[in-house]
Amino acid sequence: MAIPTEGCGSVPRPSYLLEAMGAFKDGKISKAGFDAATEKAIIETITEMEATGSSIITDGEQSKPSFATYPLDGLTNLGPDGVVIPFADGHTRQLPCLTSGPFRYSAYTGAYVAQARKHTKLRLKQAVISPSAMCLLYPESGIDGYPRETFIADLIGECVKDIRSAFDAGAEIVQIDFTEGRLACKLDPSKGLLRQFVELNNAVLDQFSDSERANIGIHTCPGGDHNSTHSADVDYSELLPDLFQMKAGRFYLQMASEIDKPRILDIIQRERQPFQTTFIGVIDPCDMNVETFDIVRDRTLEIAEHLKGERFGTTDDCGFSPFGDDIAMARATAFAKIKARVVGTALAAEKLG
């Protein structure tokens, strides 16, 4: 049997690209200069991705400012003081806050796909931000003249447009980054917040056909930034039953860094729905050591023991640099880890016959 394997999206940006991003922001280089640096990084990334043996790749999110904020870049109706996300090592990330309506994205991911398409013949995958993350932009105190219901309707429309733009530009798979799922269990142990998130994401998924939803996935993880996480202390079993209520056909689930994998894999097998394929993490992007082919093979065989049938694949636990400025891991290490996933997964498939 062949076992499908897909990455999550991002790889660390080369230093010349990060420098160009900073210089462009400060008005020190032109748009053309910035675009040239971006194009160079995308070409280099795609060449390296192809060399890993992957059959489906991404652009490594080289030109995305971050996995969460790309649709906000350049918007003028945002303030600085939004929701703060604390990580286990003490550092934080803060979202901006919407100050007026209407809410419209400044960028749609189809543009990234179109750019990547020029440089590879391989199948392409594109990650988009979840509506449930973007809904955190709306302030608790409300906005005069722009009620929350109107914002939510606008948000659903923008998320649908974002996903459609990726498909239209040639992405075969679109992955919705839902890293706030496990965090929601921590912020609200009653699960009320998590269920609101699931409902909102389903309102977007409802706009697609069954065959389109089969190619739309949900990525979940405890957050990965500067080798730290925001919600690994929440037991996975708190998240999984509600997670699989989302009407997506694919799920990309962090697992390599979990301590008790057999217990969690059994919960996944029990809770997933018949139309859902689960891609299980066999690579830990917060670990600087490159997994050996044999480690990946053995992790994949363990997954196969617990997830019966053919509705499973392998993935990385998270992107290697979801926030654009995270360079904790060297690019070469990230690509070596991707190659280990591809080769190790194939070794497991060979063994399973």
Is 159 or 253 the residue whose CB approaches Zn ion more closely?
253
Counting contacts by CB under 5 A, is residue 221 touching Zn ion? Answer: yes
Report the residue number, 20 or 68, with the smaller CB distance to Zn ion: 68
Strand partners, 84: 94
Q: Does 175 bind Zn ion (CB under 5 A)?
A: no
Structure tokens at 332: 């070469």
Residue 179 binds Zn ion, judged by CB under 5 A: yes
Contact with Zn ion (CB under 5 A): which of 107, 166, 183, 318? 318
Q: In angstroms, what CA-CA distances link 145 with 96, 97, 232, 337?
A: 20, 16, 39, 50
Shortest Cβ distance from residue 28 to Zn ion (Å)? 32
Question: Which amino acid, one-letter code, is at 320?
Answer: F
Compute the distance between CA of residue 116 and CA of residue 113 in angstroms, rounded to an integer. Answer: 5
CA dihedral (287, 292, 298, 303) positive or negative: positive
Q: Whole-number minimum distance, CB 86 to Zn ion, in Å?
A: 16
Q: Is 68 in the site for Zn ion (CB under 5 A)?
A: no
- The one-letter amino acid code at 93 reads R
| Closer residue to Zn ion (CB): 255 or 304 | 255
Tokens of 219: 């990525």
Residue 89: half-sphere exposure toward Cβ, Cα within 13 Å: 10
Part of the chain binding Zn ion (CB under 5 A), chosen from 25-33, 42-50, 147-155, 316-324: 316-324
Nearer to Zn ion, 115 or 254 (CB): 254
Q: In angstroms, what is the minimal distance from the CB of 254 to Zn ion?
A: 7
Tokens of 81: 């003081």
| Least spacing, CB of residue 89 vs Zn ion, in Å | 16
Whether the upstream peptide bond of residue 71 has omega within 30° of 0, thus cis, is no
Q: Given the rule CB under 5 A, which of 84-92, 177-185, 192-200, 303-311 is the region that contacts Zn ion? A: 177-185
Least Å distance, CB 173 to Zn ion, is: 16
Using the minimum distance from each CB to Zn ion, give the nearer residue, 37 or 129: 129
Total chain residues near Zn ion (CB under 5 A): 3
- Rounded to the nearest 10°, the torsion over CA 307, 342, 345, 175 is 0
- Pick between residue 56 and residue 153 the one whose CB is nearest to Zn ion: 56
Asked if 280 touches Zn ion (CB under 5 A), the answer is no
C-alpha distances in angstroms, 292 versus 7, 108, 330, 342, 352? 17, 37, 17, 11, 19
Q: How far apart are CA 105 and CA 2, in angstroms?
A: 39
* Least spacing, CB of residue 228 vs Zn ion, in Å: 12
- Which residues make up the interface to Zn ion (CB under 5 A)? 179, 221, 318
